[in-house]
Amino acid sequence: MPPTTLAKPIPKNGANGAAPEADAAEFNPFAGFAPFADMWEAGMRRWWNLTRHVMGIDRAPVGQTPRDAVWSNGKAVLYRYRSESPTVRPPLLLVMSLVSRSFILDLQPGNSFIERLVAEGFDVFLLDWGVPDEEEANNTLETYCDELLPQAVAKVNQMGGHNGVTVFGYCYGGLLSLLYAAGHPNDPVRNLVVMATPVDFTKMPAAMTGVGEGGIDPEHLMDHTGNVPAEAVRASFTLLTPTSDLSTVMDFWEHLDDDKFLSSYQAMTSWTRNHIPFPGATMIQTVEMFNEGNGFITGDLMLGGRRLDLADITVPFLNVIAERDHIVPPESTYGLDELVGSDDATEMRLPAGHVGLIVGNGARKRSIPSMIGWMLEHSDVES
């Protein structure tokens, strides 16, 4: 009789002594598909973000720091940013360029120069020039420097308790601020700050100075409104970095699945591609006084029939220079602290570009704290 063969009992915990759940995990038939699921999710996110961008869905909002219009004259509007308890005196007046949208100073929450200033206790005002049309075509440098700026400074001084005003001009807004301060030395300006402001126009890029004698007739740039159209303004900036649009698009495609990147990209490009017409009469004056005459350097500054002298600026003065600026090269703005008459004049050189002074990680960590530090040292701060 053949021997009886007994079946070997299977351990209660599974074939290898492990729990049945472990066997199930080891033999998961879908484990190899995880990378494909991640690729599918990233692809769908890229498709959706591209659709949002092209269709204009959920556009990144800009200029969100709460503010109120407190004065206006024509299209120029003075805004005051809301703050429950400003601790810094005097109030701060930001003066923007004539050809750029002012929201670059308040780009997005967490990436906003104005938001940071308010958080630091400043009483912040912004002078926005608006978008010119036929009515502003005859606006001159006198319109801005002898009329609108003095009125705005007086309003800020009055609302700030007559403690004076710190005037802060950006780019061409700095040029206007210099002319204003030199022409109105008795106005209540307590401190003057200019940032990325052209001084020596012989060192400016040809794309910015090629208008005038030996170049393009400024009249040929104007449209039916009598202004230089926004498209022409943008074209001049594009000529400074002709490959920037291509690199921007490549960056866009590379990071299309990144929601945070898309928001920042939309906010930034909405500024770089959305310029403002340049008032025709001011354009002609700028060409004559600076492109051709290099007035800050030669001292040949005429405004309203009188000669101006930067030496008449005697208030504490700060000239902020972006060392990687391709729009206003640093060499074009060196030495301004020696042209003004102030005994307290500082030149601050920062490792940033024209916009990188106020936007991005470098601005948050280095540029903005440095500028705020100087202004706090020249202000009254409540403890």
pLDDT tens per residue across span 183-224:
999 999 999 999 999 999 999 977 655 576 666 777 888 999
* pLDDT beyond 50 at 10: no
Please indicate whether residue 171 is annotated as part of the active site: yes
Q: What was the pLDDT predicted at 60?
A: 59
Burial of 331 (0-12, 13-18, 19+ CB in 10 A): middle
* pLDDT beyond 50 at 1: no
Separation of alpha carbons 87 and 340, rounded Å: 29
- What architecture (CATH level 2) is domain 67-381? 3-Layer(aba) Sandwich (3.40)
- Mean pLDDT, the chain, rounded, equals 83
Average the pLDDT over 50-58 and give the result.
54
234 band by pLDDT with thresholds 50, 70 and 90: confident
Separation of alpha carbons 305 and 301, rounded Å: 10
Q: What was the pLDDT predicted at 85?
A: 86
Average the pLDDT over 48-64 and give the result.
60
What sign results for the dihedral spanned by CA atoms 72, 60, 320, 159?
A: positive
The two structure tokens encoding residue 63: 């200029």
Structure pTM?
0.79
Q: CB 351: neighbour CB atoms within 10 A? A: 12
Q: What was the pLDDT predicted at 199?
A: 96
Comparison of pLDDT for 240 and 347, the residue scoring more: 347
325 phi-psi bin (left φ>0, alpha ψ -120 to 50, beta other): beta
The answer to which of 4-18, 301-315, 325-339 has the lowest mean pLDDT is 4-18
* pLDDT beyond 90 at 176: yes
Angle, in degrees to the nearest 10, between helices 34-55 and 259-272: 20
> Which long-range contacts (C-beta less than 8 Å, at least 24 apart) are formed by 65-73?
65/106, 65/109, 65/112, 65/114, 65/115, 65/118, 67/126, 70/125, 70/155, 70/159, 71/151, 71/152, 71/155, 73/147, 73/148, 73/151
Domain chopping of the chain, boundaries: 67-381
Rounded percentage of the chain residues whose pLDDT exceeds 70: 71
Average the pLDDT over 86-91 and give the result.
97
Q: What was the pLDDT predicted at 64?
A: 87
Catalytic residue among 126, 137, 153, 171: 171
